[in-house]
């Protein structure tokens, strides 16, 4: 009987702690729909935000007790990008720069309004804008923030290292200050991130040059082998230690930007992505990772990217994406 009471007490304590952390965060969100497909040759990514609307993203967020403060539709210009031609330059940079500026302004405005900006894509090039907006917000406040980036790929190529010129393989590098200056200097400053405040989780499909770039970058990388060895709780714990420690002279961490590429998940679970790679996160590992981050009370902005409904099966990846948004906002089983 005493063991039962003790167990119930522990559950109640954990629940109360989680709820108190959730209450410390904003109880309103800004949804930013960014149907960008210019970062790569996969036009179906432009349908990602619409598929998440069909999967009831608004009502599911509201069920968690959050208010939808605002919904923002980012216009994406037409561009002539000849994907079949090889190039050693980044493709569609002027158009991606235009979208990135709009996303950055929307994210910064959402943070200034005390809401959590959730940017729904669309390919991962949108993170150039979302991270720029978050960075500018914290820069003005002279505060520190970190990034947890989930991806099968490094997204740290530069125009010089890329074999394709596809910008959706470059947003992490751009945010760290490496790449085309029309993107790195967005909002007038670079870099947007401190490498020591960044973790990259779930990588398994890297170009040879990317391996070297990651090694030199100073970010904390965690491969799928690391996930197998350490388990997701160990990965998130170590990632947070690395992000928070930085150096003795840095201010404490005030926020986390979570950039979640759906191709980090195994394609058996999430088939509706543009660049699938086998051997990814399981359904539960994906949710658990975001639940653990939400428990910190530090998640202040979120990207969900690379949903490609043209490759999905009965909208199951879109529904998973919306469920992951809920986990990132603090939804728990109890």
Determine the 3-state secondary structure of 247 from DSSP: coil
Active site (annotated) includes residue 155: yes
Q: Which of 98, 123, 155, 266 is catalytic?
A: 155
Q: What's the residue count for the chain?
A: 334
Q: Helices (DSSP H) in 43-195: which residue ranges?
A: 48-54, 57-63, 93-112, 127-141, 171-175, 181-184
Task: With a cut of 60, say whether residue 19 has pLDDT above it.
Answer: no
Higher pLDDT, 247 or 164: 164
CA–CA distances in Å: residue 126 to residues 97, 100, 129, 132, 266: 10, 6, 6, 10, 22
Active site (annotated) includes residue 163: no
- For every residue of 85-103, DSSP letters joined together read S--SS-TTHHHHHHHHHHH
DSSP for residue 75: P
Q: Which of 153, 266, 285, 319 is catalytic?
A: 153
Q: Which of 180, 210, 261, 303 is catalytic?
A: 261
Average pLDDT value for residue range 269-284: 97
Q: Which of 151, 205, 276, 303 is catalytic?
A: 151
Active site (annotated) includes residue 124: yes
Residue 213 in tokens: 């770039």
Q: Which of 37, 42, 168, 257 is catalytic?
A: 168
How far is the C-alpha of 58 from the C-alpha of 291, rounded, in Å?
19
CATH code of the region 12-328: 3.40.800.10
Query: What sign for the dihedral angle of Cα 137, 142, 148, 154?
Result: positive
Domain segments of the chain as ranges: 12-328
pLDDT in tens, 214-260: 999 999 999 999 999 999 999 999 999 999 886 655 689 999 999 99
- Please name the residue that has the structure tokens 């935000």: 49
pLDDT in tens, 85-96: 666 678 899 999
pLDDT in tens, 27-42: 999 999 999 999 988 9
Query: How far from chain centre, in Å, is Cα 201?
Result: 11
H, E, C per residue of 291-317? HHHHHCCCEEEEEEECECHHHCCCCHH
Provide the pLDDT confidence category of residue 22 given band limits of 50, 70 and 90.
very low
Q: How many CB atoms lie within 10 A of CB 86?
A: 8
Higher pLDDT, 11 or 91: 91
For the chain, percent of residues with pLDDT exceeding 90: 78
Spell out the residues 6+ positions from residue 192 whose beta carbon is closer than 8 angstroms to its own. Answer: 131, 132, 135, 175, 176, 177, 186
- Please name the residue that has the structure tokens 């031609």: 85
């Amino acid at each position: 009987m005493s063991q039962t009471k003790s167990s119930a007490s522990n559950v109640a304590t954990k629940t109360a702690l989680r709820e108190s952390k959730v209450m410390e965060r904003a109880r309103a969100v800004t949804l930013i729909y960014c149907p960008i497909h210019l970062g790569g040759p996969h036009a179906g990514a432009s349908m990602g935000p619409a598929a998440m609307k069909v999967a009831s993203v608004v009502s599911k967020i509201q069920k968690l007790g959050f208010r939808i403060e605002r919904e923002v539709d980012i216009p994406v210009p037409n561009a002539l990008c000849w994907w079949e031609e090889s190039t050693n330059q980044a493709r569609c940079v002027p158009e991606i720069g235009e979208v990135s500026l709009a996303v950055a302004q929307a994210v910064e405005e959402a943070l200034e309004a005390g809401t959590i900006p959730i940017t729904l894509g669309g390919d991962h090039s949108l993170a150039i804008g979302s991270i720029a907006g978050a960075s500018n917000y914290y820069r003005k406040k002279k505060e520190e923030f970190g990034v947890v980036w989930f991806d099968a790929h490094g997204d740290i190529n530069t125009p010089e290292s890329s074999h394709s010129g596809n910008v959706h393989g470059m947003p992490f590098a751009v945010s760290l200050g490496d790449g085309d200056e029309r993107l790195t200097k967005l909002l007038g400053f670079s870099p947007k991130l401190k490498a020591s405040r960044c973790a990259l989780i779930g990588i398994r499909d890297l170009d040879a040059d990317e391996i070297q770039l990651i090694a030199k970058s100073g970010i904390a990388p965690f491969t799928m082998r690391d996930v197998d060895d350490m388990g997701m709780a160990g990965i998130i714990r170590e990632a947070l230690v690395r992000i928070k420690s930085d150096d003795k002279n840095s201010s404490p961490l005030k926020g986390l930007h979570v950039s979640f590429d759906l191709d980090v998940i195994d394609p058996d679970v999430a088939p509706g992505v543009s660049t699938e790679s086998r051997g990814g996160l399981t359904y539960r590992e994906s949710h658990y990772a975001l639940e653990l981050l939400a428990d910190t009370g530090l998640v202040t902005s979120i990207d969900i990217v690379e949903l490609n409904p043209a490759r999905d099966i009965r909208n199951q990846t879109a529904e998973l994406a919306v469920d992951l948004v809920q986990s990132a906002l603090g939804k728990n089983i109890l």
